[in-house]
Chain A
Amino acid sequence: MTEQIYYQDVMVDNDIPSLVKQPTTRQLVMWAGASGDYFAIHYDKDFAQSKGLPGVIVHGQLVAAFLGQLITDWIGEQGNLRKLTCNYKGMNFPGETITCRGKVTKKYIENGEHYIECNIWAENAKGEKTVTGKAILTLPTRG
């Protein structure tokens, strides 16, 4: 396990350690089963093309789950993810490398809790941001 990160350790403009994923069609099937999202654009190429798409696309919420993992990996056991926003701007395709990244934008104390806000995004191999969003989380303090 990674070491616990504390509020004092985090500075505005810090980068969150990135998380790289490469979802295969198999992973899309696993996500469909786990999430109940059986919409055929995620497994049936002909169906996806009949809907005007280039082919099977990765579930937006699977990428949202990757971005959730980006945060929970970083904040450790004592951190709490309070809010996650994801805007699905572009499509990801199976087999593509998806890199999840984040940057701290704000830190503040409210009602005795220590908040961090970050911009988060997922980018493809071309560097295009396919999902962008924001995370709000709380961290423990040192001492």
Chain B
Amino acid sequence: MAENPIIPEEFKDKIGVEWELGIYEIEKGMIQRFARAIDDPNPLWNTMAPPIFMVTIGGEQFGQQLMTMLRDGLLHGSTELECYQPVKPGDKITVTAKIASIRERSQMAFVTFEITYTNQRRDLVAKCQQTMIGYKTEKEKND
């Protein structure tokens, strides 16, 4: 039987190894686009970012990397976000990620990432644990 793992072996060797997703300058327009997308008219977001905005910083790069890791079925399992400081337009946020754990169960893999957000003063502004679920789709199971 051909082995077709949900998560390629190479990623299991990377548990605990941190990499930089990127450095992102926060612009007012990014925050406004976020607030419009969720339909949140709170005037506070004219001067600072809503807490959940954090998960979108580096989100596109994270998503792209995720799809090289879990190539078949992919669902979001959980999000655990801790915020230590507000983020404002002009801040430069460095986002780093690491795989905290990988758990495999029958036809599924639970991969937990730990993502940290640090500002230009090197203050840790937020931390987020994202658990993603990789699964085999029916089509592949029958192959």
Chain A interface residues toward B at CB < 8 A:
1, 21, 27, 30-31, 33-39, 41, 50-52, 59-62, 64-66, 68-69, 72-73, 77, 80-88
Contacts and interface: CB of A to CB of B under 8 A. Distances in A.
Contact of A86 (B38, B43, B63, B78): B78
B38 A87 contact: no
A35 B80 contact: no
29 contacts: A21-B39, A27-B37, A27-B39, A33-B37, A34-B33, A35-B34, A36-B56, A36-B59, A36-B60, A39-B63, A39-B67, A39-B74, A50-B139, A60-B79, A61-B76, A65-B38, A65-B40, A65-B52, A66-B38, A68-B50, A72-B51, A73-B42, A81-B51, A81-B83, A82-B82, A83-B81, A84-B81, A85-B78, A88-B78
A52 B138 contact: yes
Contacts of A80: 83
Contacts of A73: 40, 42
Contacts of B76: 59-61, 88
Nearest to B67: A39
B105 to A, nearest CB: 16
A115 B140 CA distance: 48
Nearest to A77: B44
B90 interface: no
Contact of A61 (B61, B79, B82, B83): B79
A86 B79 contact: yes
Given A50-B137, A73-B42, A84 B52 contact: yes
